[in-house]
Amino acid sequence: MTASASAASPGPGRRQPALTTAPQPTGPRVVSPVPKPAHEWGVKSTNPTNVGPRMPTDVKIVVGALVVVAMVAATIIGLLVSSVLVAVIVGLVCLIAISLFLWMARL
């Protein structure tokens, strides 16, 4: 066997790739009997219906922490003044102020 003959033959266990044409459609396109889904999973609609303003989770966490801090501050003020009534009044004023701020922020 010569060097040119061995280069032309693919060798044992290997074969030449078959070059074929791409498959052609057998007929006209047909509409699928399966209906298209009205809503895809994981996709939010651009205009949701019957949904009011929602507060994000991170805002809820911050507001909760703010309420806790207000109650702790009211307790400390009540201890400094030695009056439970002052602590209750300061706590209520803080809660009303936080509630009014959140209500005005959502308008």
Least confident of 37-51, 63-77, 90-104: 37-51
Is 101 within the bounds of a domain?
yes
Is 92 within the bounds of a domain?
yes
Q: How far is CA 32 from CA 18, 29, 38, 41, in A?
A: 34, 9, 15, 20
The confidence band for 2, taking pLDDT boundaries of 50, 70 and 90, is low
Is 90 within the bounds of a domain?
yes
Q: Tokens standing for 8?
A: 């032309």
Count the domains in the chain. 1
Residue the block writes with tokens 């219906």: 49
Is 80 within the bounds of a domain?
yes
| Alpha carbon distance 79, 72 (integer Å) | 11
- Which pLDDT belongs to residue 39? 66
Is 30 within the bounds of a domain?
no
Calculated CA dihedral for residues 37, 40, 46, 51, nearest 10 degrees = 90
What is the reported pTM?
0.49
| Owning domain of residue 93 | 75-107
Helices and strands (H, E) in the chain, number of each type: 3, 0
Q: Tokens standing for 15?
A: 């074969």
Is 23 within the bounds of a domain?
no
Is 26 within the bounds of a domain?
no
Return the amino acid letter for 7. A
Q: Which residue has the higher pLDDT, 31 or 97?
A: 97
Indicate if the pLDDT at residue 53 is higher than 70: no
Is 97 within the bounds of a domain?
yes
